[in-house]
């Protein structure tokens, strides 16, 4: 029996796609081993969201080859899509696939084993808008929460982002396939599903008949056995008039929304080609807080975007200080080849990026602690994932002092103390 290992970099979509590839290899009789073990085939599912992601992928390729000198090395995903020539030139790489055709990887591996040829299959994703139906049906090795990929691609072309070039145009998984997959999850004992995609709020844009993400969530809410529905990152523009009122009536939808902000300054947002204003974003957050009990709103911020003056950065700081989001993930701007931002003037020095990131990290620590403090002395419903630890409905990390809580079950945990990076409690 041939052995195959997987290294997955990047987002939840990549995690899901790796799980789907694992299933296909198992069906072909392969044994799945850890990346630290010797393998006949090593698969690197790559990321290219930043320069550091590219570097990390190259490191993983070199590590896999040094540990497995005679193995077949396959590189798939965003980095190999955008930089296929660079990846194929790396010594020891036998198979290069982009973000499409991941479901055919086992076929290509078998072909290389038979012929010894090198295979490069990278489609033009900007012209290929067909959804590749990668589905996970085997749940024995999965966690308490299950990811469901419902959408791929992005049509927005933010000036800093290479993802549309890596993933192509928006394409969606059919309603019927999504519902069937979630029904299977329920039958296998999963209580929480996480809806994910590259630009999830674009779900359904490519359908002939109107059917969008909110319609899908409302249908998922009817599946017996599923107790929680969680969403991944959402575009603030999704929350148009009436949407939040509809959301507030979906009883299984978790009160946690990750709304990518990227900057708290309108001038910066305009250069980023983000199609909303700071005031609009603020109104969405306030509306969510007004209509949904215990709602948690998290976000992403990019510091050091080209042309970001000290005054613009201060606007972002003051906005985050005012709005007090639950958690802010702060990233330094990373120039991506082929994007509009890469050729912008007034690129920001790395030291300034580091200083600004540190300032926002300190503010985030204050805001995060204040939000978590609210729940000391209260009960939270927690889905246990591992070692008596799990997440509340509004995505707070909770550790229970009780022994032997069943993984995959939901418990009411009384919160005793805020430990900064988690809440401590007991039944």
- What DSSP assignment string belongs to 268-304? HHHHHT--S-HHHHHHHHHHHHHHSTT-EEEEEEEES
Report, in angstroms and rounded to the nearest whole number, the Rg of the chain calculated over CA atoms.
22
Q: How many residues does the chain have?
A: 427
Residues 129 and 82 in one domain: no
pLDDT at 226: 95
Residues 383 and 410 in one domain: yes
CB 73 within 8 A of CB 44: yes
CB 21 within 8 A of CB 105: yes
Q: What is the pLDDT of residues 336-369, one digit of tens each?
A: 988 999 999 999 999 999 999 999 999 999 999 9
pLDDT at 351: 97
Mean pLDDT in residue range 36-65: 93
Residues 52 and 135 in one domain: no
Residues 189 and 83 in one domain: no
The CA distances from residue 6 to 21, 34, 35, 169, 287, in Å, are 9, 7, 6, 27, 42
Let me know if residue 111 belongs to a domain. Answer: yes
For the chain, percent of residues with pLDDT exceeding 70: 98
For all residues of the chain together, what is the average pLDDT? 94
Torsion over CA: 299, 304, 306, 308 (sign): positive
Residues 73 and 153 in one domain: no
For the chain, percent of residues with pLDDT exceeding 90: 86
What's the burial of 351, exposed, middle or buried (CB within 10 Å: 0-12/13-18/19+)?
exposed
Mean pLDDT in residue range 226-250: 95
Let me know if residue 147 belongs to a domain. Answer: yes
What's the burial of 18, exposed, middle or buried (CB within 10 Å: 0-12/13-18/19+)?
buried
For residue 138, pLDDT over 80 is answered with no
Which of 225, 254, 283 is where one domain is finished? 254
Give strand pairing partners of 120. Answer: 96
Residues 76 and 32 in one domain: yes
User: 260, 235, 395, 261: which is closest to 317 by C-alpha?
Assistant: 261
What is the number of structural domains in the chain? 3
Estimate to the nearest angstrom the gap between the alpha carbon of 310 and the chain centroid: 30
Which of 121, 144, 178 is where one domain is finished? 121
Which of 121, 156, 188 is where one domain is finished? 121
Let me know if residue 306 belongs to a domain. Answer: no
Eight-state DSSP code of residue 244: H
Q: What is the pLDDT of residues 240-297, one digit of tens each?
A: 879 999 999 999 999 999 999 999 999 999 999 999 999 999 999 999 999 999 999 9
For residue 141, pLDDT over 70 is answered with no
Mean pLDDT in residue range 120-133: 80
Mean pLDDT in residue range 4-17: 94
Let me know if residue 210 belongs to a domain. Answer: yes
- Alpha-carbon gap, residue 267 to 124, rounded angstroms: 34
Residue 21, domain CATH = 3.40.50.12160
pTM: 0.92
- What residues make up the domain containing 103? 3-121
Phi/psi region, residue 257 (left: phi>0; alpha: psi -120 to 50; beta: rest), is beta
pLDDT at 403: 83
What distance, in Å, lies between the first and last C-alpha atoms of the chain?
46
């Amino acid at each position: 029996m041939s052995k195959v290992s997987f290294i997955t970099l990047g987002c939840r979509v990549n995690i899901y796609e790796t799980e789907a590839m694992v299933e296909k290899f198992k069906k072909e009789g392969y044994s799945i081993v850890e990346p630290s073990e010797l393998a006949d085939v090593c698969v690197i599912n790559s990321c290219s969201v930043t320069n550091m992601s590219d570097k990390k992928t190259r490191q993983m390729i070199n590590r896999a080859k040094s540990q497995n000198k005679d193995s077949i090395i396959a590189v798939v995903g965003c980095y190999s899509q955008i930089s296929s020539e660079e990846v194929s030139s790396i010594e020891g790489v036998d198979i290069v696939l982009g973000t499409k055709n991941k479901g055919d990887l086992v076929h290509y591996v078998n072909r290389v084993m038979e012929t010894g040829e090198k295979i490069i299959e990278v489609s033009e994703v900007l012209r290929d808008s067909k959804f590749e139906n990668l589905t996970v049906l085997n749940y024995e090795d999965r966690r308490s929460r299950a990811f469901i990929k419902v959408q791929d691609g992005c049509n927005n072309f933010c000036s800093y982002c290479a993802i549309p070039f890596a993933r192509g145009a928006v394409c969606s998984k059919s309603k019927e396939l999504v519902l069937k997959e979630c029904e299977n999850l329920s039958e296998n004992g999963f209580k929480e599903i996480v809806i994910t995609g590259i630009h999830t709020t674009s779900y359904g844009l490519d359908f002939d008949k109107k059917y969008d993400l909110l319609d899908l969530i409302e249908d998922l809410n009817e599946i017996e056995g599923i107790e929680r529905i969680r969403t991944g990152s959402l575009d603030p523009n999704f929350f148009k008039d009436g949407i939040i009122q509809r959301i507030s009536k979906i009883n299984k939808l978790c009160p946690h929304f990750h709304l990518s902000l990227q900057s708290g300054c309108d001038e910066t947002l305009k250069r980023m080609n983000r199609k909303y204003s700071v005031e609009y974003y603020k109104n969405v957050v306030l509306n969510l807080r007004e209509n949904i009990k215990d709602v948690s709103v998290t976000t992403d911020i990019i510091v050091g975007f080209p042309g970001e003056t000290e005054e613009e950065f201060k606007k972002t700081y003051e906005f985050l200080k005012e709005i007090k989001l639950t958690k802010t993930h702060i990233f330094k701007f990373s120039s991506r080849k082929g994007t509009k931002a890469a050729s912008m003037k007034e690129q920001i020095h790395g030291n300034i990026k580091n200083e600004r990131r540190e300032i926002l990290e300190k503010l985030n620590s204050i805001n995060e602690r204040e939000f978590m403090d609210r729940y000391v002395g209260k009960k939270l419903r927690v889905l246990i994932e591992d070692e008596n630890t799990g997440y509340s409905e509004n995505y707070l990390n909770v550790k229970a002092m009780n022994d032997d809580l069943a993984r995959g079950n939901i418990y009411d945990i009384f919160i005793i103390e805020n430990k900064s990076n988690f809440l401590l409690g007991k039944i």
